[in-house]
Amino acid sequence: MLGLSAKAISKLQKKAIRHVTKRKYNAHTEPLFKILNVLTLSDMLKRKTYNFYFRLSHNSLPHYFQETFRLVRQQDIHSHNTRNQSVLLVPRVLHKFAEHSIRYYLPNLLNANVTNILEKVNTHSQNGFSIYIKLHFTNCYQMNCQIENCYICNT
């Protein structure tokens, strides 16, 4: 299993969920994830990253992260007002593989956040925050097919 890409692992996860629920090989998996209350691989990564951010915000990470991992907002750098003062600065990367590091992924995830997940960091415990994130992602999964004239659903 070593050396599998995230896309290959995601396909294996979908195959496994179809097999567990005894569905056809080409059945839609999003409703199955919702029924079984299981997160997709990409949502698991987002949940782990949000949990890391929670621990970073509450100073409950090992010393190494507290000393070297700093999230910098634009308002911390500029003395004048900018359009997006609350936007986190994403570090520049020299190589493509560096985009998969948490230093690059976390600011991008937090900047793309359109929900009130970040507000829950201050109001919830870590376990409550993790449960809230899982519920948020599973509630985003669709139960019905959104594809018009879908050949899988019409059979």
Average pLDDT on 19-36 reads: 92
Looking at per-residue pLDDT, the higher value among 93 and 139 belongs to 139
Q: pLDDT: is 115 or 85 the higher one? A: 115
In angstroms, rounded to a whole number, what is the distance separating the alpha carbons of residues 21 and 98?
Answer: 37
Neighbouring-strand partners of residue 73: 88
CB 144 within 8 A of CB 31: yes
| pLDDT tens column, 61-106 | 888 877 777 776 655 555 655 555 456 766 677 787 777 777 778 8
Share of the chain above pLDDT 90, in %: 35
Asked if residue 51 lies in contact with residue 130, where contact means CB atoms within 8 angstroms, the answer is yes
- Per-residue pLDDT tens over the stretch 3-26: 678 899 999 999 999 999 999 998
Report residue 113 as tokens: 């956040």
